[in-house]
Amino acid sequence: MRIFTKKLPHPDLPAEEKAQLLQNAEYQEMMVESTFMYLTLDLPTAPLYKDEKEQLIIPQVPLFSILAKFNGATEKEYKTYKENFLKRFQLTKLPPYLIFCIKRFTKNNFFVEKNPTIVNFPITNVDLREYLSEEVQAAHANTTYDLIANIVHDGKPSEGSYRIHVLHHGTGKWYELQDLQVTDILPQMITLSEAYIQIWKRREEDETNQQGA
């Protein structure tokens, strides 16, 4: 993965001083190559409003909207104790398996908060070609992924429970596992869950040809 980082002047500085600082070398964009174990997907802040029946509305976001973080163009601000940075990310390689970690939990000095936003995602045929640079795209014949496992967190951060949805490769059926309970589940029900961690498998050439047949 390529990580592009640009340091930002303090927001309270006068505009002229900011402009001068941006000319310095330490404020120029830098790029580093980095390996990754999983991709962290950031959820938008959940709005705290109710509908006409005074019920809380659970927001939804498409998977491709939060994947835009890795398109090489989307910038996000990161803050440390003393400094602020703009970062953008671009994938340089697509492994056989990809792990997505949907960032539902945020910690502060007092408690842990959970974002209940539902991520709308297809079960199959997720193409990640657009998140690769043009020169890298040529080295990847297959860039399409299918979901094979989906870990769900239900309930409050401190009192919740976990479920996992697993694809049985031999039959193509999905099963839900929780503790010692195993039940079958329809694929369309998986997309309604508060997905937390997902595992995606890249299609091989013969699998791609079968899907297109």
Is residue 210 one of the residues assigned to a domain?
no
Is residue 161 one of the residues assigned to a domain?
yes
pLDDT tens, residue order, the chain (213 aa): 999 998 888 777 777 777 777 777 777 888 999 889 999 999 988 766 555 655 667 789 999 999 999 999 999 888 877 788 889 999 998 999 999 999 999 887 788 888 989 999 999 999 999 998 888 888 888 999 999 999 999 888 888 889 999 999 899 999 999 988 999 999 999 998 899 999 999 998 656 555 544
Is residue 208 one of the residues assigned to a domain?
no
Is residue 117 one of the residues assigned to a domain?
yes
Domain count, the chain: 1
**pLDDT score for 212:** 45
Distance (Å, rounded) from C-alpha 97 to C-alpha 174? 18
Contact 202, 96 (CB under 8 A): yes
Domain carrying residue 135: 1-203
CATH of the domain at 141: 3.90.70.10
